[in-house]
Structure 1
């Protein structure tokens, strides 16, 4: 089979990579500024991974099948707030929140419905879950076993990044040191049992959504990444093994060139950080990342303007070399995306991939005086932040001191002042304002979902082997006290249909809650 020729509409052949005599750095080679693969999208397109989840597992399953039928190439699961912070749907803290910002998952039974008709060995799944990540991962593993899948072939990602929760988002449960233990338990377990699974997605996305600048997003995310590397090394894990399964999750904001330069700088910096900590395998030095377009950049005013914003951001992510991409629905400043908005968001990626030509050569903006200079400047500014964090004792200490939170809050305050003074222009909000904006259909999740979930929990508790659940939870408690890896014990509890809340409460009793 002859190699595919890449040509412009005028018949001009496109080379795989272009170099400028003074800078012969190549993609796929340390420090990976130009991309982690030699041929990038000529060899393999990024994964079009649309984030979805709402209401019950049954309703979310229907949306997943719809997205797969429309050409999405990976699934990304959004969980509701009770699931994220370890409460079953019948807990008093869950009232008013069940199924609202994601899908409600109370037990393995819900997970079985969520992925009904989806072969976990063929589809990669990403789960945006942190404090309860080990429990949701255990449910995914149990379901894969039930499907007869080879766990060595299962691939996907669990976010599992608790440090940014303390700094920017808030869905933490346990104190930082206990949380870090659970995270490294996942690293250790998966390195042996699920070698293709990405054990953490170190997230700058939520740091940016909380109001940070691009430089702060980069610096704080890589500083958190460094803390996870050090924690795993301290546990005795081999950086050349576990670092291959670390991934990142970045925001893509409105400033087109700044975002591209941020992604290029991120790869270069991570390569240096991992090398400094002893990584010698190039695969352990590569920064692999998922991108989501900026949720906080979407406006409720003139929501169709968001289609242009999302396209601009998605194009920057691709030119920056992302491995995976989610594009937001234009209506997400108003509600969860409607099916129509989700389809337009996916088509945005497909048009960039197959019609724009930007995927035909690797790192097409390399050699631009502006892009190269901006990459260097962003890198230098991010290193300054990392030096400050290192001087404080690392990310955990800097978060406990409140340093990272304060830096983000100050940037968020400055941005809001700039919008209110029109120093920064937001089209449709402080310039070119319409008195009467478009009022699109909005998506609503009914509160009756909680009653559905409670009824399922009542049935589950009546049908399962209660004694087996008690024994499994007691064994889990003993594993915490004995300093053992908790993952096998979480899996054992999930298999006998212990609920998410029961497992999370077992940890609460041992670790306490972080205030």
Structure 2
């Protein structure tokens, strides 16, 4: 960005400034003895100058928004046309209660729905299963059959909203239910817009809601790619998630490196299944965390976009620029929320949301102040939504594209994260790819070590968490928290019983038998899952057929 003569002059002037100005200032008022580091532990220099970005070429590395390598965003005008999608993540207890929350959020200006499922649903068990006891409706909505999905979206026109569903191992089943509900509303599948997370590799790495072994899980994912490319073309078939990797304790560079390594594995699996990269890659999406370090996070998002564009163009020879675009949803960092002084979380979330917007996110969920204690109340989720609306309407952040571009610090940090992430990807390639690196426990160990270091910094007071290890106050027991009534489980069991009584069990068994045969062979299983869903086969029944054929995954033991 600067020629040799200019850089030489800048270096001379910097050295002169250090000698004549800086050293005198430090003699009078020394800096803190602490080491200045980012949240991820990367050293932050006192000052950044053109010397730090001397090897960055503007045209090829930064460029223009809406153009390769998309460092500055994948849309030419970004938020000047319309702001990001305000997609609030919600779901609890029964489908009826969650439906009320969705309608409330839409009425208050939310522009996209994001469904949280309870733990039994996430691991493919019906609410009446013994392993579901005590967990029904607790961390999301319980969905046992098409009947629940019909209730969940009652009165919500699926041709007018974009819906994201955080579901992984049983993603094919929940997507089939959504398609079936839309059909009942008269909305054809090719008009549906939304995303299923469908990212099983990060479940093995960081989250744990897996069911099947690696190989059949990857088959299910590529089956969804193939099916949706023909039948549901506007649907994002996967949300490759760094969010949970960061929540587990990774650094920013690890979040980018491990997430894109997972993305590489999915692209390779789809190509090996016979799909052309430019037919499915434009519908890939990503999901990132927005943590506390404002500038590091902005740089992280820019680095991820640039690195993915290079991977798709150079490694996979994608011809369409749409295949090279890293489109992503962001959620503010749940791991930073504190049970102590929960109102402080409002400020944390606002700063994290600002980082996501300055980094060019396409959609955003802002966490609620009380989520370290319980599911968010209506009041808390309203504040979280208003945070986004104030950012979009009152702060001026939508006025220009990539406003921090050209900052010596931001550009140097973007390059630093990109290079470190690429080092992780290279190491994973050497181990045989993401799935093999997971089986070996490499990725889990790297995250575990980072999480340990972060916690040690908090406990040693090297890292301050306001209200936790400094600026503490005496607090009473929290009040007004949202609690899920235990009766929800009994209500769900009753619904399942009613569904099984009213449906044609003979038809269900026929469809499940067809699904079993498809699983045992090589054909795409999505049409058979959809057929079973339409006959009101339950989630657990469908997943049990696949458990029977595919088996279950056993996690690697870290040494």
Conservation of the 8 A alpha-carbon contact between 1:302 and 1:437? no
Aligned counterpart for 1:81 among listed residues 98, 119, 126? 119
C-alpha displacement at 1:385, in angstroms? 0.6
Question: Deviations for 1:50-86, whole angstroms, at most 9, x for unmatched residues?
Answer: 0000000000000000000000000000000000001
1:162-241 alignment runs, 5 A limit: 162-241=200-279
C-alpha displacement at 1:150, in angstroms? 2.3
Instruction: Quickly say closer, same or farther: Cα 1:152–1:217, change in 2 above 3 A.
Output: same
Counterpart Cα distance in 2 of 1:438 and 1:310: 23
Counterpart Cα distance in 2 of 1:437 and 1:20: 54
Give the match's secondary structure for 1:48.
Answer: strand
Counterpart Cα distance in 2 of 1:44 and 1:207: 30
Conservation of the 8 A alpha-carbon contact between 1:335 and 1:442? yes
TM-score by length of 1: 0.95
1:18-33 alignment runs, 5 A limit: 25-33=63-71
**Which residue of 2 is the match for residue 41 of structure 1?**
79
Conservation of the 8 A alpha-carbon contact between 1:428 and 1:434? yes
For the pair 1:337 / 2:376, whether they are aligned, the reply is yes
Counterpart Cα distance in 1 of 2:426 and 2:516: 39
1:413-452 alignment runs, 5 A limit: 413-436=452-475, 439-452=478-491
C-alpha displacement at 1:436, in angstroms? 2.4
C-alpha displacement at 1:152, in angstroms? 1.3
Counterpart Cα distance in 2 of 1:194 and 1:474: 25
**Which residue of 1 is the match for residue 350 of structure 2?**
311
Counterpart Cα distance in 1 of 2:543 and 2:343: 41
**Which residue of 2 is the match for residue 514 of structure 1?**
553
Conservation of the 8 A alpha-carbon contact between 1:389 and 1:398? yes
Counterpart Cα distance in 2 of 1:20 and 1:191: 36
Aligned counterpart for 1:496 among listed residues 512, 528, 535? 535
Look at both structures and tell me which one has the larger radius of gyration over its CA atoms: 2
Question: Deviations for 1:108-138, whole angstroms, at most 9, x for unmatched residues?
Answer: 0000000000011110000000000000000
**Which residue of 2 is the match for residue 16 of structure 1?**
none
Aligned counterpart for 2:109 among listed residues 59, 67, 71? 71
C-alpha displacement at 1:151, in angstroms? 1.6
For the pair 1:118 / 2:185, whether they are aligned, the reply is no
For the pair 1:402 / 2:402, whether they are aligned, the reply is no
Counterpart Cα distance in 1 of 2:149 and 2:450: 39
Conservation of the 8 A alpha-carbon contact between 1:302 and 1:438? no
C-alpha displacement at 1:23, in angstroms? 7.8
Structure 2, unpaired ranges of 5+: 1-56, 555-559
C-alpha displacement at 1:435, in angstroms? 1.9
Question: Deviations for 1:337-390, whole angstroms, at most 9, x for unmatched residues?
Answer: 000000000000000001000110000000000000000001111111111000
For the pair 1:466 / 2:505, whether they are aligned, the reply is yes
Conservation of the 8 A alpha-carbon contact between 2:62 and 2:71? no
Return structure 1 stretches of 4+ with deviation > 4 angstroms: 19-24
C-alpha displacement at 1:439, in angstroms? 2.9
Counterpart Cα distance in 1 of 2:285 and 2:476: 40
Counterpart Cα distance in 2 of 1:21 and 1:182: 40
Kindly report the root-mean-square deviation, in angstroms, between the aligned alpha carbons of the 2 structures.
1.3
Give the match's secondary structure for 2:466.
Answer: coil
**Which residue of 2 is the match for residue 5 of structure 1?**
none
**Which residue of 1 is the match for residue 47 of structure 2?**
none
Counterpart Cα distance in 1 of 2:112 and 2:281: 22
C-alpha displacement at 1:434, in angstroms? 0.6
Structure 1, unpaired ranges of 5+: 1-18
For the pair 1:51 / 2:89, whether they are aligned, the reply is yes
C-alpha displacement at 1:226, in angstroms? 0.4
Conservation of the 8 A alpha-carbon contact between 1:262 and 1:378? yes
For the pair 1:455 / 2:517, whether they are aligned, the reply is no
Aligned counterpart for 2:451 among listed residues 408, 412, 418? 412
**Which residue of 2 is the match for residue 255 of structure 1?**
293
Counterpart Cα distance in 1 of 2:448 and 2:323: 33
Conservation of the 8 A alpha-carbon contact between 1:205 and 1:250? yes
